[in-house]
Structure 1
Amino acid sequence: MNETTDLLIIGAGPAGMAAALAAASSGAHIVLLDDNPLPGGQIWRDGPQANLPTEARRLREQLHACANVRCHTGTRVITCAADKTLLVEDAERGWQITYERLILCTGARELLLPFPGWTLPGVTGAGGLQALIKGGLPVCGERLVIAGSGPLLLASAATAKHQGAQVLRIAEQASRAAVAGFAAQLPRWPGKLFQSISLFDHHYRTGSYVLEALGRERLEGVRLLQQGKTIELACDRLACGFGLIANTQLGQALGCALAGQALAVDAWQATTRVGHYAAGECSGFGGSELALVEGAIAGHAAIGNTAAAQRLWPRRARWQGFARALNKAFALDARLKTLARADTLVCRCEDVPYGELAGQENWREAKLASRCGMGACQGRVCGAALEHLFGWTPPTPRPPFSPARIDTLLHLEQTPPT
């Protein structure tokens, strides 16, 4: 059976949950869709070894109490079936959802940059390691190095230590001056100050980044440039993430314009397409607090409650200030573009090395010459890396946006409900 709704929200992280709760008081029929088993998104991912914050549990309970909010978990968007109609799929079936208004809360994914050895077993993203541990990955007694940029490194380290891992080094590529300047501003956001103090680890080093992951069959160690000196550490796991990339694929497919690398929104969190809103990290990075208030503004605006939305503008401005400070402090060092060697794989799906790409002019030429971006991930990993390395414009999103069953695709032949 196909489905109709007044308001469809894609993504049940902090922004999506806040949007649904803000809109629920109107009595409108709301559908909240997410590909995770439970609401919470990546930051509040649940699992056997997850320790959910109180706020995440409270929001989840409030959602369950809303009779006019229906949650479809474990569900992915496959393609746009018609105007204001999406084809979606869960583990059991595929169907179409037709909506009047839509809020995109599609979040972000990690930026992974290639360096020698980054494809060895035992090397993951920093956020990827955190998700694996929450899902039950045993790391007790393992030696870990966590590297890259941003507060996620400290959060991942804390998750790993809580499960018994030995964190040998947290290598932050930002300079000591940049991190110190950011820390000096944290009293403006007391909650973030206390959080940073609780997460601090004496193995944290600024001005440090990965040069190479070492090993033959799997990771055995890591070579770092640490404040100008090259060091090597034997380790069992390396988690390396260089910040976030906004998930704009669905928004672009729906005709929403970009502002830089994120979805463009106005003061009401409205995109450039009428009736379509965006909130959270798909419209820019700033942490869960900013995502929550943006989601609430989008939820109020989508149901026409502009007064309630406008009352939240000062809170959003406050957390936008935090976002600006964060993004400035942890801007990536240009030297990270020089880590890959000629034989370093960039496109892991199609085994395309850096040397085959360095002489190309753009994505189209690279794909014609090497099949880069044409594998299972459809350029989600290598596309972001090459945009950072060479400034290439990523390819235009093409459906299907996720792998789909044949019987799901057959729903495209059906007339959507009216």
Structure 2
Amino acid sequence: MSEHYDLLIVGAGPAGMAAALAAAPSGARIALLDDNPVPGGQIWRDGPGAHLPPLARRLRDGLERHAIPVWSGTRVVAAAGPQALLLEDPTRGWRVRYDRLILCTGARERLLPFPGWTLPGVTGAGGLQALIKGGLPVAGERLVIAGSGPLLLASAATARAAGAHLLRIAEQAPLAALARFTAGLPRWPGKALQAARLFDHRYRAGSHVLEALGDDRLEGVRLWQDGSTVELACERLACGFGLVPNTQLAEALECALRDDAVAVDDWQATSRPHHYAAGECTGFGGSELALVEGAIAGHAAVGEQTQARRLFPRRQRWQRFADALARDFALDPRLKTLARPDTLVCRCEDVPYAALAGRDGWTDAKLVSRCGMGACQGRICGGAARVLFGWTPPAPRPPLSPARIETLLCLEDEA
């Protein structure tokens, strides 16, 4: 048994919610699904320690007002036909068919291996933010945040508000690049105000993590700063090196990629007919770009090209901001040399750097080490291997996430 919708949207972050609300007045039968408990995506993740902005609440209210069904806690297990997906939530598995699909699958944090990065107390920068919003107590803990990009400042602000004692924000981008980026911020006044509000005097440019120190758990961190090493005792280290677009579903649907993101045209249409994509799965640019891309995709998917075209100038404005981010926060090549021979690259299967160095690619690495074959299915080590070795992972095979046997049997029922 399967359900059918005129428009199915995968991902209920800013792009997905904007797409649904743009398409809703057309009268199309729309459904929105997301693997989080409530709409908002990673940027507007809800929880006991979260403080949602008014815009996020307005978008949620809009979904309710238009009576758009939102399937929360729902994952895509596999493509189930020419225009159908196999879905699973905590209670059931089922097929859903669609006439149009919009992929708003977002992005995940890029983690790079360095000695000690698997110690308890070490997380991603965005990961720490999500944990705090979910209720993790950090009051009084000494914290170092390292990596690259505006997420570091946002994570620091969340941790400070929760009572953490922030010691350092280590941004790997050099001071000259940051000065250029800052000088251009007046073109986006809202971003300039946000940067001023989030800035912290413990922020350092041209600084990156070298090693997390400790035996059974994190006890300190060694940083590179101003041509020398600095050691700081701490209980938490949050380290993230930008974002990686979530393209697994797009690849499974045979949508083309460009620069490791889903390739789209002016209408946010992918290379596959009737399939669109918006937000950070098409490239990182922040919530403002995701919102306008989602709205364009929503209008275009229901045949409202005129309304979509009116949003092109706004998208172009925020695309320039995205381009500045990519240029000025490009990763320092020295980050490729952090791992030692015994540093784990694939945490799920305990595969060290030495087992991967010199391999010909993902397939060769899997044959000799099981790299990428653990619970995360290469989502963590895949992004790292892309930076370290230049490997491009093969297209994913179903199931795209762990699934119950009865869910997989839905495919046979429809055969």
- Structure 2 counterpart of 1:326: 325
The residue number in structure 1 matching 2:118 is: 119
Moved more, 7-16 or 380-389: 380-389
**Does the 8 Å CA contact 1:4/1:99 hold for their aligned counterparts?**
yes
CA offsets 1:63-97 (integer angstroms, 9 cap, x no match): 11103x21101100000111111000111111111
Please name the residue that 1:245 is paired with. Answer: 244
1:16 aligns with 2:31: no
Tell me the residue number matched to 2:366.
367
Residue 180 (structure 2) pairs with residue 181 (structure 1):
yes
CA deviations over 1:179-198 (Å, ceiling 9, x no partner): 11100000000000000000
What residue ranges of structure 1 are gaps of 5+ in the alignment? none
- In the TM superposition, residue 395 of structure 1 has moved relative to its aligned partner by 2.2
Amino acid at match of 2:65: A
Query: In the alignment, is residue 55 of structure 1 matched against residue 55 of structure 2?
Result: yes
Show the 5 A alignment for 1:263-302: 263-302=262-301
What SS does structure 1 have at the residue aligned with 2:379? coil
Once the two structures are superposed, the pairs formed by residues 19-418 of structure 1 within 5 Å of their partners are 19-67=19-67, 69-415=68-414
Comparing 392-401 and 23-32, the one that deviates more? 392-401
Distance 1:371 1:44 in 2: 35
Q: Distance in 1 between matches of 2:99 and 2:79?
A: 14
Aligned mates of 2:414, 2:78 — CA distance in 1: 15
CA distance in 2, matches of 1:227, 1:53: 37
| Structure 1 outlier segments of 4+, above 6 Å | none
Identity, % of aligned positions: 73
Does the 8 Å CA contact 1:384/1:394 hold for their aligned counterparts? no
CA positional deviation for 1:157:
0.3
Q: Does 1:6 pair with 2:6?
A: yes
SS at match of 1:82: coil
Structure 1 letter corresponding to 2:225? Q
State the alpha-carbon separation in 2 of the partners of residues 288 and 102 from structure 1: 21
Q: Give distance in 2, aligned partners of 1:65 and 1:406.
A: 36
- How far the C-alpha of 1:270 sits from its partner, in A, is 0.2
Q: State the shift of 1:172 in Å.
A: 0.1
Paired residue type of 1:143: R
CA–CA separation in structure 2 for the residues paired with 1:121 and 1:199: 27
Separation in 2 of the partners of 1:10 and 1:226? Answer: 42
Inter-partner Cα distance in structure 1 for 2:26 and 2:146 = 45
Amino acid at match of 2:264: V
Report the residue type matching 1:71 in the other structure.
Answer: V
Structure 2: which 5+ runs fail to align?
A: none
Amino acid at match of 1:352: V
**For 1:308, what is the secondary structure of its paired residue?**
helix
1: CA distance, partners of 2:2 / 2:73: 17
Paired AA for residue 228 in structure 2: K
Q: 2: CA distance between counterparts of 1:197 and 1:387?
A: 33
Structure 1 distance, partners of 2:85, 2:226, is 50
- Aligned residue for 2:403, secondary structure, equals coil
The structural deviation recorded for 1:2 is: 2.3
Compute the displacement of 1:227 (Å).
2.0
Q: Distance in 2 between matches of 1:395 and 1:171?
A: 33
Matching residue's letter, 1:28: A
Once the 2 structures are TM-superposed, how far is the Cα of residue 393 of structure 1 from its aligned partner? Answer: 1.2
* Structure 2 CA distance for aligned equivalents of residues 374 and 401 of structure 1: 12
In structure 1, C-alpha distance between the alignment counterparts of 2:318 and 2:348, rounded to whole Å: 38
Q: 1:228, CA displacement in angstroms?
A: 1.3
Partner-residue secondary structure (3-state), 1:128: helix
Task: Report the AA paired with residue 35 of structure 1.
Answer: D
Alpha-carbon contact 1:103-1:279 (below 8 Å) kept: yes
Structure 1 counterpart SS, 2:26: coil
Shift of 1:112: 0.4
Matched position secondary structure for 1:31: strand
Counterpart amino acid of 2:35? D
Shift, 1:376, TM fit: 1.1
Paired residue type of 2:192 = L
Equivalent residues of 1:11, 1:104 under 8 A apart: yes
Cα distance in 2 for partners of 1:80, 1:188 equals 42
Q: Given residue 144 of structure 2, which amino acid in structure 1 is its aligned partner?
A: V
Separation in structure 1 between the aligned mates of residue 146 and residue 3 of structure 2, nearest angstrom? 45
2:182 aligned partner, one-letter code: A
1:268-295 Cα shifts (integer Å, max 9, x gaps): 0000000000000000110000000000
Q: Secondary structure at the match of 1:410?
A: helix
Q: Deviations over 1:302-342 (max 9, x none)?
A: 00000000000000000001000111010000000000000
Partners of 2:344 and 2:207 in 1: how far apart?
23
Q: How many residues align?
A: 415
Q: Find the residue that maps to 1:193 and give its secondary structure.
A: helix
**CA–CA distance in structure 2, aligned partners of residues 274 and 80 of structure 1:** 15
Distance 2:192 2:173 in 1: 19
Distance 2:198 2:392 in 1: 36
Where 2:96 maps in the other structure, the secondary structure is strand
1:381 match: secondary structure: helix
Give the superposition deviation at 1:241.
0.2
